Amino acid sequence: MPATLPTQKYPVQAGFTASSRNFPHAVDRNRIKRLGRECWRLQKQELYDSLQGRQMAVFFIYTDKKIADFPTLHHKFSVILNRLQKEFAAEGK
């Protein structure tokens, strides 16, 4: 049995998607997912710290019709992750 379970080290599973209807070219869908994963990577630690041993699975669905730039996505991810942190804080009380 391992000393630390993977769920303790990685308490959140995250998925990313973009619609092929809105973005018919795979290169565009891949860029959106790549940008989303980078935003997630840079900001996930605060969410990890607030979970306190609990687990979560999140799935990000990109619904806009155009590709947003990185600063815009970074801000949107911070809003989403702050909302998730508040939900878990309220649930823990």
* pLDDT tens, position by position, 48-90: 888 888 888 999 999 999 999 999 999 999 999 999 989 887 7
* pLDDT computed for residue 92 by the predictor: 66
* pLDDT computed for residue 59 by the predictor: 96
* pLDDT computed for residue 18 by the predictor: 97
Contact 12, 60 (CB under 8 A): no
2, pLDDT greater than 80: no
| Chain segment 21-41, per-residue pLDDT in tens | 999 999 999 999 999 999 999
Tell me the C-alpha distance between 60 and 77, whole Å.
10
59: amino acid identity, one letter: F
Q: Distances from the Cα of 45 to the Cαs of 19, 27, 36, 68, in angstroms? A: 28, 29, 15, 23
* pLDDT computed for residue 52 by the predictor: 81
5, pLDDT greater than 70: no
